[in-house]
Amino acid sequence: MRNPHYEYLGRRMREYHRMQQWRLSDGGLFIPHAYWNMGPESLSYWDDVGFILNGRRIIVWWHHPRHIYGEAISSMAWDEAGDGPRDDWLFEGGTKGYKMVGKSSKRKKLSSFTSRAPSEAQTQHYAKLQKIEERLTRDGIDLEVRPSWKWERLSWAMGVSLVAPFEVRNEKELAEVAHLARELILQKTTLTQEFPDFVYDKASWLRERAVLAPAHHTAPEVKA
């Protein structure tokens, strides 16, 4: 049975692809990030890559399991810290800056906004949150992360969310992510076949904390 919503998204997707061309590499990949700051021993956490499949644009949002684990630590820290004083210091009580405009320079126009400092209560809450997150990062949490993937129809592409234990430190390694996503979509492989029995857990996290320096924890740079 036809689904009108999916048919509509498909038309929007093809129209967007015709009107908004992707800058593709020689290998046919959309690569939005640069890797000049990534070394051979760097840990990688997430990246994006795109390609064309059967005339449709595919965008892959890839995450290493360690990134999912780290995000869970941050979430648990917020839960443990509890609600803060709700001091909206970014937007309330700031200072507005103006510049004079017009031929006579008699009119003024808002040109900047400087936030005030957070309240003492808010500062203490941030310090509490930081200590909790540092402890959970040091000790680890009881969590197991396994490879997974799902996809969704967007108005401009098919989006693939992929969790898989790659290290992506250059365009060649990023191409491996794109290749796996393509094979998964075409049902030529499964994550169970590619990563049998893989699990990222507390032992994995603590092992990496022990042997790798913080300087190795880097992310790709957005291309200019």
Amino acid at 167: E
The 10 Å Cβ neighbour count of residue 144 is 11
Which pLDDT score, from 0 to 100, does residue 130 have? 95
pTM (global) more than 0.75 = yes
Ramachandran area for residue 68 (φ above 0: left; ψ -120 to 50: alpha; else beta): alpha
Which pLDDT score, from 0 to 100, does residue 215 have? 45
Strand positions, DSSP E, 119-169:
148-153, 158-163
Query: Which regions of the chain are under pLDDT 70?
Result: 1-20, 89-90, 93, 102-106, 113, 213-219, 223-224
The secondary structure element, H or E, covering residue 51 is strand 46-53
The answer to whether residues 97 and 196 touch, using CB atoms and an 8 Å cutoff, is no
Which pLDDT score, from 0 to 100, does residue 150 have? 96
pLDDT tens digits, one per residue of 137-188: 999 999 999 999 999 999 889 999 999 999 999 999 999 999 999 999 999 9
- In degrees to the nearest 10, what's the CA dihedral of 213, 220, 166, 180? 180
Report d(CA 75, CA 1) in Å as an integer. Answer: 41
